[in-house]
Amino acid sequence: MDRKVRVLFVCLGNICRSPLAEGAFRKLLRERGLQGRFEVDSAGTGAWHRGEAMDPRARKVLEEEGAYFPHVARQITREDALRYDHILAMDRENLREVLRRFPEARGKVRLLLDYLGGGEVPDPYYGDLQDCREAYWTVEAACRAFLAHLEGDGARGAPPAGEA
């Protein structure tokens, strides 16, 4: 591989779902010794939490799962839309917002759960710790499927047929 594969996870505020997905993916890469082949980050479509730490429940879940990493919330930028090979949104609203603001990202943006057959990652923000755990388990399974897809189709392959 000539350069690192760039993967960006996106949710609304970048304090719950996208950091959970980023942590899960980083953990999978670490377990497989692939971290040097990827550049991984996350961002939010909204700016409300920019500069803040991740939600304490998300941090606790990542710590429990051995997937914690230092994180400061940020908002997605045009540079991100141009730079990243894969932009994986947690739900349709955020997917539409990325495409509305950055039409040049078309073809790189899809729902993370497309790699598990479709759907959206439920937002645990208004829930409890268990909701955060369940969101983690969902994104971890999707990240496994995404990584298997990359390993099977090459790092810049299309999503599973009929999706995105």
Looking at the annotation, which residues are catalytic? 11, 17, 123
Q: What are phi and psi of 41, to 5 degrees?
A: -155, 180
Distance CA 143, CA 137 (A): 10
The residues pairing with 38 across neighbouring beta strands, listed in sequence order, are 5
Distance CA 139, CA 67 (A): 12
Which spans in the chain are helix H?
17-32, 56-64, 78-83, 92-101, 129-153
Residue 58: C-alpha distances to residues 28, 83, 126, 141 (Å) = 17, 27, 12, 17
Helix, strand, or coil (residue 6): strand
